[in-house]
Structure 1
Amino acid sequence: MATDLYNTLMNLQCELVAERNLVNPQQISWLQYDILNILQTHASRPTVMSRQLGITQVKLSKNLKKLRELNYITQTPDAHDRREITTAITPQGRQFMTDIAVKHQELYNKACKVWSKEEQQQFIVQANKLIELLRKERIANGQ
């Protein structure tokens, strides 16, 4: 039985990665996705984003460079402090995030087709237990 669980978890992980690759053809990282997600609501300065994300300015800068290269963000001098820059999502970046949201909805619809309401609730409870454990361990290890 443990082998069945192991195989199922590995297969699920592989399928979710495959789905992510379909959704994310540019292969942006989770951190880059988080940056775009922040910028969907409002433009921001890198100093503010690095605090929000809990990362160094250097790490943020490397990720902003990739997003600029993909034309997902623009950066302009800040209107209030010319030493700072303001980062904003571009229409292309917004479209990318919309495309991801559409794919997430498609995955949700598929899950609704294969699971009854009761099975959905069971999955939510069990998956959240595992998510919580994985998140706590990752945070405890500083990752």
Structure 2
Amino acid sequence: MNLKTALMELQCEMVAERNLVNPKEITWLQYDILYQVEKEGEILPSDLSLILGVSRTKLSKALKSLKQMEYIEQLPNKLDGRELYTSLTDSGKELLESISEKHNSLYKIALESFDKEEQKEFIHLSNILSNELRKTRIEKDE
């Protein structure tokens, strides 16, 4: 198997796993937004747009839905009231916690599949690729 095939196989498997754990009530984009908001604590939509590689219009629609579902809240920036900081509500945190519990099965499989040295190598290589993909996407949008 070559690198391209290995990447395609991994991507297909990760999408299949994601389908198993992502609740039907939210889209993948909405999940990604919630995940990034949780990771950052609070974040501006412009930053989310860059991180996720989606248009401001598409992001705005997803944020509006998440706000209606009461998973996020948006509060004005004290320095510039036109900017809205997005943060999770308690309901949003609970939703992510339930999804996280389902992700544990993927983690357990990885623990069983890799020895300690392979785990370190996988983490290292995954971080290199993830960071490069993110960097390339963000530079492209600037």
CA distance in 2, matches of 1:91, 1:136: 31
Alignment of 1:11-90 (within 5 A): 11-25=9-23, 26-29=26-29, 30-35=32-37, 37-38=39-40, 49-50=44-45, 53=48, 61-73=60-72, 89-90=88-89
1:86–1:142 distance in 2 versus 1, CA, 3 Å: closer
Percentage of matched positions with identical amino acids: 39
Structure 2 contact 71–89 (Cα < 8 Å) conserved: yes
What TM-score, normalized to structure 2?
0.66
Amino acid at match of 1:9: L
CA distance in 1, matches of 2:139, 2:73: 34
Measured against aligned partners, the alpha-carbon deviations of 1:82-136 in whole angstroms (never above 9, x if no partner) come to: x888866444322211012212333222101111001111212222222232222
Pick the structure with greater CA Rg. Answer: 1
Amino acid at match of 1:7: T
1:54–1:8 distance in 2 versus 1, CA, 3 Å: closer
CA distance in 1, matches of 2:70, 2:126: 35
Which protein, 1 or 2, shows the higher relative CO under an 8 Å CA cutoff with sep ≥ 6? 2
CA distance in 1, matches of 2:38, 2:132: 27
What TM-score, normalized to structure 1?
0.66
Amino acid at match of 2:7: L
1:134–1:74 distance in 2 versus 1, CA, 3 Å: closer
Do residues 92 (structure 1) and 94 (structure 2) align? no
Could you list the runs of 5+ residues in structure 1 that have no partner in the other structure?
none
Structure 2 contact 72–86 (Cα < 8 Å) conserved: yes
